[in-house]
Homo-oligomer: A and B are copies of this chain.
């Protein structure tokens, strides 16, 4: 009996999903905020339905774009099956936003005053297995001779704290900007408004997954943010995935690594 088996109801499954695991591409897609599903034990966290469907619970459209990219590139995809409201897998346990008590303009009643036991449960059931899955896939591929390129897929809200965001696609990086630089090199020709480290950047603590899986090993990496109003339907998701897939392929070819 593991903590995970105590944490999840029998029919809820596990924290992590891996799709196209044997995909041939060097690209390894990661989607930390793929789902708005709450584990049954948490009820509604004291939040209204519209809030539970909003960007504070997940990155709307991100999983759909990631799946289209997975197909287009023949790339493996790892995603979290539960909401960032319970544990934000792009944050370490010591971060206040790993189990947020507030997000944008909303308080999250079910996250107030979490005790050490509850923090342990969430860390053990959601965070550790997620990054173990990524880490183990990177390692397996390495043994097969594939040096992974870590690409994380996110979406952001067009209006944040009342401010409209003009940027449409953000290409984010931490201290290793090789892949981001190459993707940004031809952005003038893009049909999207593409910016570097927008609408936020590494100084906001958003590059945890890159820091865990890419930087220590020197793997090429990038974090991609798409404005979620552009990927609310399949046509938009396809347009974004087409642009990103071609941009990634051109960038990797230009690096010639």
Residues of A within 8 A of B (CB): 1-3, 6, 92-94, 115-120, 123-124, 128, 131-132, 135-136, 139-140, 208, 211-213, 215-216
Evaluate contact between B120 and A3: CB separation under 8 angstroms.
no
> What secondary structure prevails in chain A residues at the interface with B?
helix
Which among B2, B116, B211 is the interface contact of A132 at CB below 8 angstroms? B2
Interface centre among A1, A2, A117, A211 (most CB of B within 10 A): A117
Shortest CB-to-CB span from A1 to chain B, Å, is 5
A116 contact set on B, CB distance < 8 A: 92, 208, 211-212
A94 contact set on B, CB distance < 8 A: 93-94, 119
Report if A3-B117 is in contact (Cβ < 8 Å); known contacts: A123-B123, A124-B131, A128-B128: no
How many identical chains are in the complex? Answer: 2
Shortest CB-to-CB span from A100 to chain B, Å, is 14
A3 contact set on B, CB distance < 8 A: 128, 131-132, 135-136
Assembly CA distance A136 to B6 (angstroms): 9
Assembly CA distance A245 to B113 (angstroms): 36
Q: What are the nearest 10 A-B pairs in CB distance? A: A93-B93, A94-B94, A117-B216, A116-B211, A1-B136, A124-B128, A3-B132, A117-B212, A128-B128, A92-B116
Evaluate contact between B93 and A135: CB separation under 8 angstroms.
no
A213 contact set on B, CB distance < 8 A: 117
A140 contact set on B, CB distance < 8 A: 1
Shortest CB-to-CB span from A85 to chain B, Å, is 19
Assembly CA distance A34 to B140 (angstroms): 33
Report if A215-B123 is in contact (Cβ < 8 Å); known contacts: A1-B139, A135-B6: no
A124 contact set on B, CB distance < 8 A: 128, 131-132
